[in-house]
Each structure stands twice: as C-alpha cells, then as structure tokens.
Amino acid sequence: MRTRAAVLRELNTPWSVEEIELDPPKAGEVLVKLAASGLCHSDEHVLTGDLAGACPSPPMVGGHEGAGVVVECGAGVDWLQPGDHVVFGFIPACGRCMSCVSGHSNVCDNATTFATGMQISDGTSRHHTLDGLDLGVMCLLGTFSEHTVVNESSCVKIEKDWPMDKACLLGCGVVTGWGSAVYAADVQPGDYVAVVGV
C-alpha cells in the first residue's frame, strides 16, 4: 500500500513529507494506522546525527512515540486484532525471553536489531521510497507516518476510550520522565522537586 511519511533522506536536512510504499505485515507483525505521534528531542538528534550508531542511517522514517489502530495482523499474532487501539513502546518487549521474564524488558532479545531500523523477524524493511530505496524506521517504529508496520512486541493494547493524542506520549515521554525522576534523580515520596523545560 501507499502512505505518507516524514523521511530523513540525509543528515542535517529537513524531514521530507512524501508518499512511500509499505509492505503488508509478515508473521509476528501488525499494520497500524497512526492517530497521533509525539515529537521528542531524540528526533532532532537523529536529524543531526547525534544518535549515530543507535538509530538507522538515512534514509529513514522518523518517530518513536505513537498510538493508533491496528488495521491488519500478520500470521501468528493472536492477541491483537483489527480495530484494537495500541501505543508503541520505543523498546520492544516480547514478554517471553529471559530478559523480559526476569524483569529486564529494557534489554529484550527483540531489541537486537534496534539500531538497524529493520524488522525484528527477518532484518528486512517494510517501508520503501517510491524510487525503490529501503527505509529504516526509528526505534523499529517509524511513527512519523500515516501507517507503519511494526513487530507485535512493540505494541501495548489500550482501551478504545483513551485519547490517542495523549496516549502516544506513554511510548517515550512519560516513561522516560518517570525513569529519570525515579532512577537518575532518585526522587522519593515526599520530596519536593522542580520540573524545568516541560
């Protein structure tokens, strides 16, 4: 199918909103129609090359905070169905590997292809420019698109009455802020804190 996405063709150039070709989901993958995507400073770091090695090289589809509606499920996806609302986790978590079951989903086995931006299942791309270039996707998601194909382990099912423009922020901004406060700043119950730069 064809859809539109914000593509970074080269470092330090503007995002190019263009039509792209999107392959259908393969086994373990879902096609999602995005309803909302957050904009994070990490997206600027991708543009400037400050995240080189941690993200795919251009050309790529940006975005790693998103919420949307499942349109199609690939083979073997049995817990999601078309019409389900999902938020994307910017780090996949399968819930079954040793890291996940021991409480360390932040290092899920499915995150090994994270920096390539290619699909977890087979290391190939589902996103392509109309002139035939494979596109990587930021954080295995590519939420700067009207539609995207992601691995099911990047999806968290949410209730249909949650507003997606707010739910999308759960994918990065909320969890990163919480983790920064609790782990980096060691904020404890009863502490007084100042939040700067919201």
From the list 37, 42, 105, 121, the catalytic residue is 42
From the list 37, 40, 55, 100, the catalytic residue is 40
Can you read off the two tokens belonging to residue 86? Answer: 């999902």
Phi, psi of 148 (to 5 degrees): -150, 160
- Identify whether 139 is a catalytic site residue: no
The SS3 of residue 31 is strand
From the list 37, 55, 64, 121, the catalytic residue is 64
- Identify whether 42 is a catalytic site residue: yes
Cβ(60)–Cβ(183) below 8 Å: no
- Identify whether 104 is a catalytic site residue: no
From the list 45, 57, 97, 99, the catalytic residue is 45
From the list 100, 108, 168, 172, the catalytic residue is 172
Q: How far is CA 176 from the centre of its chain?
A: 14
The DSSP bridge pattern shows strands 134-137 and 60-61 to be: parallel
Can you read off the two tokens belonging to residue 193? Answer: 């804190």
Q: How far apart are CA 168 and CA 164, in angstroms?
A: 6
- Identify whether 40 is a catalytic site residue: yes
- Identify whether 125 is a catalytic site residue: no
For the chain, the straight-line distance linking the first and the last C-alpha, in angstroms and rounded, comes to 38
Active site residues: 40, 42, 45, 64, 172
